[in-house]
A = this chain, B = another copy of it.
Amino acid sequence: MSIETDIKQKKFRSPFQKLALNLVYTTKWLEYKQLESFKEHDITPQQYNVLRILRGQQGNPIKVGDITERMLDKSSNTSRLVDKLLAKNLAKRTSCESDRRAVDVVITEEGLELLKVLDPFIEDWENRFNIISEAEAEQISALLDKLRENENQA
C-alpha cells in the first residue's frame, strides 16, 4: 500500500517530506514485524543487536563502549543491555586487564545458539526485500548514506 493510503495523507509538501515520512513509517513497520520473532524468544531488538555484534567478534572480547559504537541505536544504555544478556546467560562479562575501567564482553555458547534459532526468521524478513532487485537495494542504500552526509551542514 502506498504511504498516502497508509497514513491517509493525500498531499505532501515535497518529495523529500514524503520520503522522510515513508522512511519512518517503513522502518516502524519493519521493526514491528521483526519484534514478533524476538518476543517469542524473550529478547528485545536492542539485545539482538548486541548479540549480533558479539557474534561478529568471532570469540574476541569487545568493550561496552565499542559495542555502543557499532549499534544501530547509539543512544542505548549498553551497560544495562549487557546486564540483561548476562541474566539470560547469553553473554559473559570480565573486567579488562589492560584497562581496569573497561569491561570485556563475549557471547556464550547459549547466545550463539539463540542467534542460530533467530537467523532464519530475520533472513526470511530480509529476503522478502527481494521484491525489489539487488541493484535497487544497493541504490537505496547508497542514497540513504548520502542523506546522512550533510549532517553538519548549515
A residues contacting B by CB (< 8 A) are 1-3, 6-9, 13-33, 56, 69-75, 123, 125-132, 134-138, 140-141, 143-151, 153
Contacts and interface: CB of A to CB of B under 8 A. Distances in A.
Contact of A71 (B7, B150, B151): B7
Contact of A144 (B26, B69, B70): B26
A75 B39 CA distance: 15
Nearest to A142: B2
Contacts of A123: 13, 17
19 contacts: A3-B144, A8-B69, A14-B134, A15-B141, A16-B137, A18-B137, A19-B140, A22-B140, A22-B141, A23-B23, A24-B27, A26-B144, A26-B147, A28-B74, A33-B151, A131-B146, A131-B149, A132-B146, A140-B140
B26 A125 contact: no
Contact of A30 (B9, B23, B30): B23
B30 A20 contact: yes
A143 B150 contact: no
